[in-house]
Structure 1
Amino acid sequence: MKEYIIKKVLNNNVVIATSKNSDFVLVGKAIGFNAKKGSKISNDRIESMFIKQSLKKTNFDEVIENIDGKVIGICEEIISMCEKEFNVKFSEAIHVSLPDHINFAFHRIEKGIKIENPFLYEISALYPKEYRLAKKALDMINSRFEVNLPEDEIGFICMHINAAIKQRGVSDTLAYTKKIGNIMELILKLLKKKLDKDSLAYVRTVTHISFVLDRVINKKTIRNDLLDNIKEELYNEYDLAIKVAMKIEDLFSIKVPEDEIGYLALHLKRLEDL
């Protein structure tokens, strides 16, 4: 059975260990409890691992040197929890970006700097499963460190999780979310409506826009058999939908087909009737 030699204990459930000239971050229940440098860990106690394969100094080495091991440890627990939920291996970048972000959040709280996330509602609508896990992660952090990071942090953690799943940068997830927010602003402006961002109608609209984008980007648009009737009976909403489609095209450099514009018109009518 393969064995690992502990180099550093991060917390009761996370250790850094070595085996055959490679370093590993190992996660397992009570794997670090009463453990010391040089102790051996058998493979059957490991629930998940992150392999640091490079022999050169990496960003993760800098994280280990400059961030409290307990912060790194809980982040590794969160990553492990999320990987199990999604049944996918996250991108390596999150092992650096998440502890770096949480560490920075602690510093802001200590200095009394208010943490705000202007896209919290869009994030929760776009990424519901990631958001649920991010909320659980925040509860873990606040409980373990006896701090009170605000609800806005759920959105930031959620973006890190989503970026790791999609194998892209957190900035890409943020950029996408901002664009969705811009589209929603235009919709409410065109309809001359105010809508609570935590309302079902707002969430439903954000989700619909995201589905439209996904279909168009992946060239899986669906036929709209009601298109002619929509143009004739909902001509005002269809005209507004064209404006929304133009905004989408401008932001995402894509072409929204008429069938999708028709579905947008139906959705705008639904919002208008609220």
Structure 2
Amino acid sequence: MVDDAIIKKVLNNNVVIAEKENNDYILIGKGIGFDFHKGSSIPSNRIETVFIRENTEIDNNYNTVLETIDNKIIGISEEIISMSEKDLGLKLNKQIHVSLPDHINFCLKRMEKEIKIENPFLNELKVLYPEEYSIASKALKMINDTFNTNIPEDETGFICLHIRAAITEDGIGIHLEYTNKIKDIMNLISKLIGRSIETNSLEYARTLTHTNFMLERILKGKTIKNLLLDTIKDKFQSEYSIAIKIALRIEALFSVKVPEDEIGYLAIHLKRLSDMENE
């Protein structure tokens, strides 16, 4: 498809913008920006990833990115997107070609000005989106290596959100809002059980994972039957009472109805938390 495409612009050693038959392409391949130059054609066997640019609003916004953001930043962004698509086995929403370089550019400027980067949802994102977070960790290393900087791990969470948003085609704000609500529930659990749960601990990850899976089932209308519900109500009265309060918060945050069966499973998990504390 891109045989004999002519390079219009070299973004970095591995990424170029090329043209063929009035169509623009972003081409990614090891060393193609080093071995070839503007006006050269690239043999197809050197190209690993192709992104065709079309006359859409996103692509018009990409033109603005090209005009206002350093080529190295755009280049590393395209490498990160290519890596993400390979690791995930799917194509990401085209919007990430605009949003990711814009975000990385802003991040590097904050580092230059020594503005501290903090992500209050880092541990939640690790648990909610482990695959995206793993890719984001590799992306952060690529950015730090390329620009000889030391951006902290907090930034991994923000990159994770960009990747997640590009998978689901929802805006980043949707996932940030969801994560914020999950954190709200976790804080309530800590308050109701009368102790803090270390956010980087296994019990925090287990509790968050259980809460998230429960919520996914409720949102999809696929809740499961709890055959031990009556026993749970009788044997774990304190935990069941706490579970009801947590369920009410979930209902308020997500505008859903939490079934008694799910409240029962939540009570079991709260009992497990209590047992872990006493071990």
TM-score (norm 2): 0.95
- For the residues of structure 2 that align with 1:51 and 1:175, how far apart are their CA atoms? 32
Q: Within 5 A, what are the aligned runs for 1:7-18?
A: 7-18=8-19
- Residue 104 of structure 1 corresponds to which residue in structure 2? 106
- Residue 245 of structure 2 corresponds to which residue in structure 1? 243
Secondary structure of the residue aligned to 2:35 is coil
Deviation at 1:34, TM superposition (A): 3.1
CA-to-partner distance for each residue in 1:215-246, whole Å, 9 max, x for gaps? 11111111111111111111111111111111
Secondary structure of the residue aligned to 2:5 is strand
- Residue 145 of structure 1 corresponds to which residue in structure 2? 147
Q: Which amino acid aligns with 2:44?
A: N
Deviation at 1:197, TM superposition (A): 0.4
More off after superposition, 37-46 vs 140-149: 37-46
- Residue 30 of structure 1 corresponds to which residue in structure 2? 31
- For the residues of structure 2 that align with 1:82 and 1:45, how far apart are their CA atoms? 19
Unpaired stretches in structure 1, ≥5 consecutive residues: none
- For the residues of structure 2 that align with 1:136 and 1:48, how far apart are their CA atoms? 18
CA-to-partner distance for each residue in 1:146-169, whole Å, 9 max, x for gaps? 011111001101111111111111
CA-to-partner distance for each residue in 1:83-128, whole Å, 9 max, x for gaps? 1111110001111111111100111111111110011000111111
Deviation at 1:44, TM superposition (A): 2.7
Q: Within 5 A, what are the aligned runs for 1:174-189?
A: 174-189=176-191
- Residue 118 of structure 1 corresponds to which residue in structure 2? 120
Deviation at 1:55, TM superposition (A): 6.6
Q: Which amino acid aligns with 1:201?
A: E
C-alpha RMSD over aligned residues: 1.3
- For the residues of structure 2 that align with 1:205 and 1:159, how far apart are their CA atoms? 21
Alignment of 1:52 onto 2:65: no
- For the residues of structure 2 that align with 1:100 and 1:212, how far apart are their CA atoms? 35
- Residue 203 of structure 2 corresponds to which residue in structure 1? 201
Contact kept, 8 Å, 2:36 with 2:42, in 1: the verdict is no
TM-score (norm 1): 0.97
- Residue 163 of structure 1 corresponds to which residue in structure 2? 165
CA-to-partner distance for each residue in 1:148-199, whole Å, 9 max, x for gaps? 1111001101111111111111111111110100000000000011111000
- For the residues of structure 1 that align with 2:50 and 2:243, how far apart are their CA atoms? 48
- For the residues of structure 2 that align with 1:92 and 1:128, how far apart are their CA atoms? 22
Q: Which amino acid aligns with 2:140?
A: L
Gap change, CA 1:127 and 1:18, over 3 Å in 2: same
- Residue 43 of structure 1 corresponds to which residue in structure 2? 44
Aligned residues: 274
Given the alignment, which residue of 111, 133, 136 partners 2:135?
Answer: 133
CA-to-partner distance for each residue in 1:226-271, whole Å, 9 max, x for gaps? 1111111111111111111111111111111111111111111111
Secondary structure of the residue aligned to 1:91 is coil
Unpaired stretches in structure 2, ≥5 consecutive residues: none
Secondary structure of the residue aligned to 2:7 is strand
Given the alignment, which residue of 262, 265, 271 partners 2:264?
Answer: 262
- For the residues of structure 1 that align with 2:29 and 2:148, how far apart are their CA atoms? 23
Secondary structure of the residue aligned to 1:16 is strand
Secondary structure of the residue aligned to 1:58 is helix
Secondary structure of the residue aligned to 1:70 is helix
Gap change, CA 1:205 and 1:164, over 3 Å in 2: same
Q: Which amino acid aligns with 2:6?
A: I
